[in-house]
Amino acid sequence: MGHKIPVSALVLIHTSDLQVLLLERADKAGFWQSVTGSIEEGETPYQAAVREVQEETGLDALQYAFEDWQVSNVYEIYEHWRYRYAPGVTHNTEHLFGLELPAPLSVQLAPDEHVRYEWLDWREAAKKVFSWTNVDALKRLGERHGLTL
C-alpha cells in the first residue's frame, strides 16, 4: 500500500436545526470528528467526500443536500499519523463540505474506523471534536445560519 495523499475532505453532516453527527475514532479513543478522509489517486476532494460519507456512515450523500463549501484549511498532521504519508510530509489540505439531512438518521459505521456515533447540538459538537479544523467547520455552520459559537 502506498502513502496517503495529503489532501482530504471533511464532511459536516447536520440537520436544518443544527444537530451534528460526530464519530468516535476506532484507533484513538475519545477522538470525535466529522466524516473525514484522504483523497485517493485520481480522485477529487468532492469525489472523496461522497465516498467517505458512504464508507463511514452508509449514507449516499447525493440523495441529500450535499454542498462544497469552497473552503479549505491546511493543518499539521499529528505526529502519530505521519507514518501514513511519504517521508517529509507534515501538512494536509482539508476541503470542507456540508451534508444536510432531514433529521438525525441512524448510520452504519465502518468498524475499523469508528466505534460510536452521536447526534449533538452544533455548539456541543464544537466542544467535543479534537481538531481545530472541525471546530472551524462547526463555526462556519453556525455562521451560515446567522449564529456564532
Annotated domain spans of the chain: 7-144
Task: Report yes or no on whether pTM surpasses 0.75.
Answer: yes
Q: Which fold has domain 7-144?
A: Nucleoside Triphosphate Pyrophosphohydrolase (3.90.79)
pLDDT of residue 110: 95
State how far the Cα of 133 lies from the Cα of 111, in Å rounded to an integer.
24
12-22: pLDDT as tens digits: 999 999 999 99
> Which among 119, 122, 145, 120 has a CA at the least distance from the CA of 135?
122
Handedness of CA 19, 75, 37, 10 (dihedral sign): positive
pLDDT of residue 68: 98
pLDDT of residue 1: 65
DSSP string, 33-62: E-EEEE--TT--HHHHHHHHHHHHH---GG
Q: Which amino acid is at 33?
A: Q
pLDDT of residue 135: 98
State how far the Cα of 135 lies from the Cα of 149, in Å rounded to an integer.
9
26-57: pLDDT as tens digits: 998 999 999 999 999 999 999 999 999 999 99
Residues of the chain with confidence (pLDDT) below 50: none
